[in-house]
Amino acid sequence: MSEVDGSAPEPAAVPGVATVHGTGVRREALYFALRNRKLVGGLAVVVAFLLAAIVGPWFVTEDPLTYVGPPAAGPSGSYWLGTTTFGQDVWAQFLYGLRATFFVGSVAALIAGVIGMVVGFTAGYRGGLVDEVLNMITNVVLVLPVLAVLMIIAAYLEVRSIEVQAVIIGLFSWPWVARAVRAQTLSLRSREFVDLARLSGLPVRRIIFREIAPNMASYLFMVFILLFGGSVLFAATLDFIGLGPTDGISLGLMLNHAKQWSAMNLGLWWWFIPPGLGITVIVGSLYIMNVGLDEVFNPKLREM
Amino acid sequence: MLKLEGVSKTYKVGAFARQDLAAVRDVSFELRPGEVVSLIGESGSGKSTIGRMILRLTSTTSGTITFGGKDIATLRRGALRDYYREAQGVFQDPFSTYNPVFKADRVLTMIRQSYFPDVGDADWRTRVREALAAVSLNPDLVLDKYPHQLSGGQLQRLLIARALLLDIKLLVADEVISMLDASTRIDVLNLLADLKERGLAVLFITHDLSLGNYLADQTVILRRGSIVERGATAEVFGDPTHPYTRTLLSSVPRLGERWTDTELEHGPCRYHQLHPDGTDPAGPALAAVGDDHFVACFALGEDRKCGQP
């Protein structure tokens, strides 16, 4: 027993090295996050839109669907983005639509993320028959033609709110999360630190959330961003083809209305450009953020 | 204390799990308090699987493992946790035994959360210091560090310290020293010898014959999942009987001697000398050739028959 006082090279005994490592992975990630232009830029755009969605509606009319101004007027001082064929304020619709978009995106991402993670972790960790059954369910949902199913649901539900839309989207977009989480769990489960946790008498739930999940935290974080962007796009698609909410307004519904009343043919560009651009910019920024996060979490991708 | 009786493990392999792969076949041996048993075998001989089955990290296909008279396969939740209070394992690769996201001393904290939630902070710190001192680690150098900041030897000894916090009776040491360099190796070996003095039973799994010889009271030689020879270490190493054991021992490199591939003469099968009608599957798997020395049939699989007496 010769190394009582650590005569072996001791990394932390070197001043300087200790401070870099000792502060932890989290602070290192934050350091690279703040230096990453893709991440910071994308985040700034998303936060700006989010603020507009939260605060904006307080400064415009209470109901964006009321007829307030002259019909089909272009952008002006009183109506910043002009009005629709019926004299509705496009700017007010845009702000309320943003709010709906963020709501649908986050609720659907939350539902899909939670279902996907629970299914993926359970299947991956338990293995055997549980895995077979859960994997089968996942695959069935994965190959469901969601659009067709939603058309049927839309036919049955007479009144559809934004909340219902968010829940439906969430219930159909979890399978890829479950598959990815399952695959990662399978590989992490066989690592010896999981065995050690079992030898420490930890319950399964704790092993999954305290030992396995932290190893894929960056991935889980990105899953939520991807789900959010995907849900926003999917909601816009549904709205545009007329399967969206029957009350309220969203960016997709604005596009749907603009199409229905031939805004394109009439040259009312202020009616369809803002919602289309809004969706594109939000989802685009989210994906750019995702690339940035990838670089933050994966040292191999960092630009030197 | 720990008793394995006819333990087997079969894995299903191939498409639709149609084929069976026997990793461990009908293994029986016993571990008494204060005894070190070394389990020696080449890669893939099933020695790690046996260790994992004893720690209930892998289930057995057939046979029973009893600890203190209780079948460990029946343990559930609380009882299983109590079993781990007395039986612990240290694994081969210290780097993968630690969760890379967290600090290394988290393995000690987990023990506290599971088994000593009522122990006060100061009391716990004293216990940790004592356990670390027992494995010759300096607390200031290993606590509050990430696994990548520590050496393999430090991590390995930290794992043993973790087991010591629990006042264990059985330690499964799976290739604990094959990752360590020669100087650290002897430290860990001496530590295991100290633990043995304290009445701890150690199952020492290794592929290295000389290390197995160094500590063990009992030696079990495994080949393709079954025991070929077993007995007191002095008997097995002093008078190797089974052709496989003899080949294994003759292949240990020695300083100052060129290794030559000489064909060893094994003579007639000792098992069949003692059990002439011994192809009976219900018969004993091993034949007693000495006081505390057992050997299996000399047949080495399909390609080589045992050449009966």
Q: What is the ipTM of this complex?
A: 0.85
Q: How confident is the model at residue A24 (pLDDT cuts 50, 70, 90)?
A: low
Residue A180 pLDDT greater than 70, yes or no = yes
> How far is Cα B222 from Cα B49, in angstroms, rounded to an integer?
12
Confirm whether A129 is domain-assigned.
yes
Q: Do A3 and B96 touch (CB under 8 A)?
A: no
Pairing of the two strands B2-13 and B62-67: antiparallel
Distance from CA of A5 to the nearest CA of B (A): 6
Q: How confident is the model at residue A145 (pLDDT cuts 50, 70, 90)?
A: confident
- B237-252 mean pLDDT: 84
Q: State the greatest distance between any 2 C-alpha atoms of chain A, in Å, as a whole number.
A: 90
A297: chain B residues, CB-CB within 8 Å: none
Distance from CA of B19 to the nearest CA of A (A): 17
Q: Residues 213 to 232 of A: which have CB under 8 A from any B CB?
A: 214-215, 217
> How far is Cα A160 from Cα A142, in angstroms, rounded to an integer?
24
Confirm whether A181 is domain-assigned.
yes
**Kindly report the CA angle at B156 between B210 and B36, in degrees rounded to 5?**
45
CB pairs under 8 A between A and B: 86
Whether the Cβ atoms of residue A87 and residue A150 lie closer than 8 Å to each other: no
Whether the Cβ atoms of residue B48 and residue B38 lie closer than 8 Å to each other: no
Q: Do B149 and A12 touch (CB under 8 A)?
A: yes
> How far is Cα A46 from Cα A98, in angstroms, rounded to an integer?
11
pLDDT digits (tens, 9 = 90+) for B160-175: 889 888 888 999 988 8
Amino acid residing at B61: T
Instruction: Return the pLDDT at B285.
Output: 72
> How far is Cα A78 from Cα A81, in angstroms, rounded to an integer?
9
Burial of B210 (0-12, 13-18, 19+ CB in 10 A): exposed
Whether the Cβ atoms of residue B71 and residue A187 lie closer than 8 Å to each other: no
Residue B146 pLDDT greater than 70, yes or no = yes
B97: chain A residues, CB-CB within 8 Å: 192-193, 195-196
Tally of domains in chain A: 1
Whether the Cβ atoms of residue A202 and residue B110 lie closer than 8 Å to each other: yes
Query: Which residues, listed in sequence order, are joined to residue B294 by a DSSP beta bridge?
Result: B230, B288
Q: Do B187 and A3 touch (CB under 8 A)?
A: yes
The pTM of this model reads 0.77
Residue A12 pLDDT greater than 50, yes or no = no
Question: For residue A264, what is the domain's CATH number?
Answer: 1.10.3720.10
Tokens of B146: 């990430």
Beta strand segments in chain A, E: none
- Which of residues A293 and B285 earns the better pLDDT score? A293
Tokens of B205: 């799994």
Q: What percent of chain B has pLDDT over 70?
A: 91
Whether the Cβ atoms of residue A207 and residue A198 lie closer than 8 Å to each other: yes
Q: Considering CB atoms only, which of A4, A192, A203 is closest to B136?
A: A4
**Kindly report the CA angle at A172 between A171 and A173, in degrees rounded to 5?**
105
Residue of A nearest to B93 (CA): A192
Q: Considering CB atoms only, which of B55, B145, B148 is closest to A199?
A: B55
pLDDT digits (tens, 9 = 90+) for A93-141: 888 888 888 898 999 999 999 999 999 999 999 888 888 999 999 999 9
Compute CA distances B229 → B6, B173, B182, B268, B309, whole Å. 15, 21, 28, 16, 19
Residue A14 pLDDT greater than 60, yes or no = no
Instruction: Return the pLDDT at B283.
Output: 55
Q: How confident is the model at residue A5 (pLDDT cuts 50, 70, 90)?
A: very low
* CA B140 to centroid of chain Cα atoms: 31
Residue of A nearest to B88 (CA): A199
Distance from CA of B189 to the nearest CA of A (A): 10
Instruction: Return the pLDDT at A63.
Output: 75
> How far is Cα A60 from Cα A91, in angstroms, rounded to an integer?
8
pLDDT digits (tens, 9 = 90+) for A72-96: 777 777 777 777 777 777 888 888 8
User: For chain A, what is the mean pLDDT?
Assistant: 80
Tokens of B187: 């430290």
Q: Return the top range by mean pLDDT from A148-157, B170-179, B226-235.
A: B226-235
Which residues lie below 8 Å from residue A225, measured CB to CB, with a gap of 6+?
A286, A289, A290, A293
Residues of B with a Cβ under 8 Å from any A Cβ are: 52, 55, 57, 77, 80-81, 84-85, 88-89, 91-93, 96-102, 107, 110-111, 113-115, 136, 138, 141, 144-146, 148-149, 151, 153-154, 159, 183-184, 187, 190-191
Whether the Cβ atoms of residue B289 and residue B274 lie closer than 8 Å to each other: yes
Question: Per this entry, what is the length of chain B?
Answer: 309
Q: Residues 172 to 201 of A: which have CB under 8 A from any B CB?
A: 191-193, 195-201
Distance from CA of A272 to the nearest CA of B (A): 48
Query: Could you tell me which of B43, B52, B307, B297 has the C-alpha nearest to residue B172?
Result: B52
Residue B96 pLDDT greater than 50, yes or no = yes
Confirm whether A20 is domain-assigned.
no
Q: Do B97 and A202 touch (CB under 8 A)?
A: no
> Strands of B293-295's sheet, edge to edge?
B87-90, B170-174, B201-206, B36-41, B218-223, B226-232, B293-295, B287-290
Q: Do A195 and B91 touch (CB under 8 A)?
A: yes
- Which of residues B282 and A135 earns the better pLDDT score? A135
Distance from CA of A204 to the nearest CA of B (A): 10
- The mean-pLDDT minimum among A15-19, A67-71, B64-68, B70-74 falls in A15-19
Burial of A106 (0-12, 13-18, 19+ CB in 10 A): middle
Q: Do B57 and A195 touch (CB under 8 A)?
A: yes
Amino acid residing at A63: D
Q: Considering CB atoms only, which of B55, B141, B184 is closest to A6?
A: B141
Question: Per this entry, what is the length of chain A?
Answer: 304
Tokens of B134: 């027992």
Tokens of B285: 């798997």
Confirm whether A142 is domain-assigned.
yes
Residue A287 pLDDT greater than 80, yes or no = yes
Residue of A nearest to B80 (CA): A201
Q: Residues 10 to 49 of A: which have CB under 8 A from any B CB?
A: 10-13, 21-22, 25
Q: How confident is the model at residue B263 (pLDDT cuts 50, 70, 90)?
A: low
> How far is Cα A296 from Cα A288, in angstroms, rounded to an integer?
13
Instruction: Return the pLDDT at A10.
Output: 39
Q: Do A215 and B93 touch (CB under 8 A)?
A: no
- A229-249 mean pLDDT: 82
Whether A1 has its CB under 8 Å from any CB of chain B: the answer is yes
Q: How confident is the model at residue A8 (pLDDT cuts 50, 70, 90)?
A: very low
- B191-199 mean pLDDT: 85
Q: Do B80 and A201 touch (CB under 8 A)?
A: yes
Q: At what angle do helices B106-115 and B152-164 cross, to 10 degrees?
A: 10
Distance from CA of A3 to the nearest CA of B (A): 7
Whether the Cβ atoms of residue A239 and residue A252 lie closer than 8 Å to each other: yes
Q: How confident is the model at residue B302 (pLDDT cuts 50, 70, 90)?
A: low
Q: How confident is the model at residue A4 (pLDDT cuts 50, 70, 90)?
A: very low
Q: Do A3 and B149 touch (CB under 8 A)?
A: no
Q: Do A1 and B136 touch (CB under 8 A)?
A: yes
- Which of residues B268 and B248 earns the better pLDDT score? B248
Distance from CA of A270 to the nearest CA of B (A): 51
Amino acid residing at B307: G
Confirm whether A68 is domain-assigned.
no
Residue B305 pLDDT greater than 70, yes or no = no
Q: Do B114 and A201 touch (CB under 8 A)?
A: yes
Instruction: Return the pLDDT at A183.
Output: 92
Instruction: Return the pLDDT at A303.
Output: 58
B230 φ/ψ angles, rounded to the nearest 5 degrees? -155, 145
Confirm whether A76 is domain-assigned.
no
**Kindly report the CA angle at B281 between B276 and B285, in degrees rounded to 5?**
75
Domains of chain B, earliest start first: 2-224 (3.40.50.300)
Exposed e or buried b per residue across B81-93, where buried means at least 16 C-beta atoms within 10 angstroms of its C-beta:
bebbbebbbbbbb
Whether the Cβ atoms of residue B139 and residue B129 lie closer than 8 Å to each other: yes
> How far is Cα A174 from Cα A121, in angstroms, rounded to an integer?
13
Question: Residue written as tokens 């043995």?
Answer: B196
Q: At what angle do helices A37-55 and A269-297 cross, to 10 degrees?
A: 140
Whether A204 has its CB under 8 Å from any CB of chain B: the answer is no
A212 φ/ψ angles, rounded to the nearest 5 degrees? -85, -50
Q: How confident is the model at residue B54 (pLDDT cuts 50, 70, 90)?
A: very high
Whether A295 has its CB under 8 Å from any CB of chain B: the answer is no
Torsion angle, CA of B91/B95/B96/B98, rounded to 10 degrees?
90
Q: Return the top range by mean pLDDT from A235-239, B216-220, B274-278.
A: B216-220
B81: chain A residues, CB-CB within 8 Å: 201
Confirm whether A292 is domain-assigned.
yes
Which residues lie below 8 Å from residue A86, measured CB to CB, with a gap of 6+?
A67, A71
Residue A1 pLDDT greater than 50, yes or no = no
Which residues lie below 8 Å from residue A228, measured CB to CB, with a gap of 6+?
A105, A106, A108, A109, A286
Domain hosting A200: range is 26-50+90-301
Question: Residue written as tokens 């916090």?
Answer: B165
